[in-house]
Structure 1
Amino acid sequence: MRVRPPPDGTDVLRPAPPAFDLSKTGNEGSVMTSGTEAGTLPATSARPESKLRSYARLGKLDVFDYYLSFLVVLSALAFPVLRLDNRTIAMLVLFLLGAISTIVALVAFDDLTGFRDGSDLRNYGPDDPTRKKLRKPLVAGTLTQGEALWFGWITAGVGAVLWAAAVAVAPHRPTWTIVVVVVTYVFALQYSYGLKLSYHGFQEVFLVALGASLVLSPFGLATGEFSWFLLVQSVLFGLGVLMFGVYSNTNDIEGDRSVGRPTVASLVSPRGNAVFIGALSASEYVIALAASLAGVAPWWFAVLMLPAAALRTRQFLLGFRYGDIMRARKLGFSVHRTTTALLVVANVLAGVLA
């Protein structure tokens, strides 16, 4: 899965780049073009936007859905007793900024690897009318590989400093929380760079874990406690993050197969992929229902989550009954935001009714 903003139009802002020969790579695995290094603008090309905007695109700063986890954490801390003293507020701000920096590094490295192995060139090629190449600065030629690499390492370094500072100022530092933070950071940088975990069949599990850790870690640092109800919420949040990916993977089957990236969509038949995504879609509500039945969550939690389940069903039908995968993927953002809002309401109600 490449981490992308939702598609919103066709690539009409820039003439098609010179054809790439996917059979030729440089010493670092970079896709080459007729003697020109990939990621370098031809001498006659005009830059269509500023460097700052290109870096913002590379870091996917317009995709804020990962950071909505902090609304869930804040609502869990606000009730039944307000647990937001100065140290907690400082920790939350540092952790949020660290999360943004770390995820920006993750997606920058993801784009760099996707450009080098040729999968983004296939998925964002001129024959794909649903993708704007400017959303991939390396494919569009608005950034070079060197610029993307340094941007990734700088933001990774900033993320490490900010998360270390968040742990240092936190009111509590339970061991399990520190382990989760460290593992999340290390694996984030190895997602599609270094060890390339997503190229070895771990991407679906990682994306759920990433979303869940963004909920559990700051809560643990703020309270020193482990909450089973919040664990359920964190898994639901992580599944929402994953659902962006599985629809992207369905659209990108050919590109992923061409570079040996083993997503579920690229490994199984179209029917098998539809069954897999259908099972994931159903699992969100099944988890909420099971939590209510087991007493981990209030009895009304399963009822509260019904609107999200209905939207997820609509998304699945749009993608697999009507065959519009990219519109279904875009709808996934609304589903995730709805789920997040319902989790916030759940925490408020749980606090008020306690």
Structure 2
Amino acid sequence: MSAEVVGTGSESRFRSYLRLGKFDVYDYYLGILIVASAAPQEPATLLLFLLGEVAVIVAGVAFDDITGFRDGSDLVNYGPDDRLRKKLRKPLVAGTLTEAEALRFAWGAAVLGALLWAAAIATAPHSPMWTVVLLVVVLAAALQYSYGLKLSYRGFQEVFLVVLGATLVLAPHGLITGQFSGFVLVQAVLFGMGPLMFGVYSNTNDVDGDRAVGRPTVAALTSRRGNARFVGALSAGEFLLAALASLSGIAPWWFVLLMAPVAVLRAQQFHLGFAVCDIMRARKLGFTAHRTCVALLVLANVLVVLG
């Protein structure tokens, strides 16, 4: 049974659809800049892939909102008692869209995304089987993340966020070059860590709502101290990956030094979230850390090309 709508909204339907698709959160889409800096030869394929990933992610977040509305968790996390969350960001909770409208929007975006990715594969100079399989699996998982099989309700949320981000770098790079690169894999995982770090801070803030509906995020399954250790380990692991890549020769020796500013931002983010206990400001700082990471990864590829 659908949860009762809390409040009504005066926004236009178009603006509400933009909110449902979270078009203002573009950080997943930045991965295409990393690919373009490493393999810029096929702009048409890159554009088709980018448009496809926008549609797929829009579908996924819309389905997530539909499920959060149905199970009541968004009513808790974005309800009138939460001063840190704007209810209008959830059109179903705010009453600016109906559930039927949201479903049509989500399925339309899903179909469009699948068609655009198929077009990207068709126009690519290479189509190694691993890239095609990876895209099919990620497409299916994105649509089942909170809807259908509800993978995020079965303990796969944190893993999926990293895998999705990494795929958005690995797959288009494979389609353009026909190759698998260890250095690009490192960059892909570092890119995927950005959305994961948004997620773990959001989950820390939303722990009561997630526990109420049985959504098993790490924050919901552990104590506050246990969750803080988990987030701290992720923050440190991001830097260690860059360090190991430099030490092993997968990445240039200077790569770890180039990525040091991201480690500094992660330390500040952790302090803000778990020492100052301002989780939402810490989450916001995560966007700065992720965008800094993307800029540095693009710079790394430019430096490699320049020799």
Common fold, TM-score beyond 0.5?
A: yes
* 1:327 alignment partner in structure 2: 281
TM-score (norm 2): 0.99
> Match of 2:149, SS?
coil
- How do residues 142-291 of structure 1 correspond to structure 2 at under 5 angstroms? 142-291=96-245
Selected match of 2:32 from 43, 58, 70: 70
Deviations 1:11-34 (A, max 9, x none): xxxxxxxxxxxxxxx2xxx124xx
Aligned partner of 1:301 among 255, 277, 280: 255
1:138 maps to which of 81, 92, 108: 92
**Partner SS, residue 161 of structure 2:** helix
User: What's the CA shift string for 1:36-63, capped at 9, x where partnerless?
Assistant: xx48x7xxx5x42110000000000000
After superposing the two structures, state which structure 1 stretch, 89-98 or 54-63, moved more: 89-98
Cα distance in 2 between the residues matched to 1:250 and 1:331: 15
Which residue number corresponds to residue 352 of structure 1?
306
Q: Higher Cα Rg: structure 1 or 2?
A: 1
For 1:287 and 1:185, locate their aligned partners in 2 and report how far apart those are by CA, in whole Å. Answer: 27
Alignment-derived partner of residue 117 in structure 1 = 71
Q: How far does residue 235 in structure 1 lie from its aligned partner after superposition?
A: 0.2
- Name segments (4+ residues, structure 1) moved above 2 Å: none
* TM-score, reference length from structure 1: 0.86
Query: For the residues of structure 2 that align with 1:286 and 1:101, how far apart are their CA atoms?
Result: 33
State yes or no: 1:60 paired with 2:60. Answer: no
Gaps of 5+ in 2: none
Following superposition, the deviation at residue 212 of structure 1 comes to 0.1
Amino acid at match of 1:115: F
Aligned residues with identical type, % of pairs = 67
Q: Which runs of 5+ in 1 are unaligned?
A: 1-25, 33-37, 79-83
Q: Which residue of 1 aligns with 2:83?
A: 129
Shift of 1:91: 1.1
2:10 is aligned with 1:48: yes
1 CA distance for matches of 2:116 and 2:62?
Answer: 18
Partner of 2:3: 31
Aligned with 1:195: secondary structure? coil
CA distance in 1, matches of 2:70, 2:11: 23
Q: Which residue of 2 aligns with 1:4?
A: none
Alpha-carbon RMSD: 0.9
Counterpart amino acid of residue 327 in structure 1: R
For 1:253 and 1:177, locate their aligned partners in 2 and report how far apart those are by CA, in whole Å. 35
Q: CA deviation at 1:116?
A: 0.3
Query: For 2:293, which of 326, 335, 339 is the aligned residue?
Result: 339
Distance in 2 of aligned mates of 1:190 and 1:154 = 15
Secondary structure in 1 aligned to 2:107? helix
Indicate the structure with greater helix content.
Answer: 2
Q: Distance in 2 between matches of 1:318 and 1:228?
A: 34
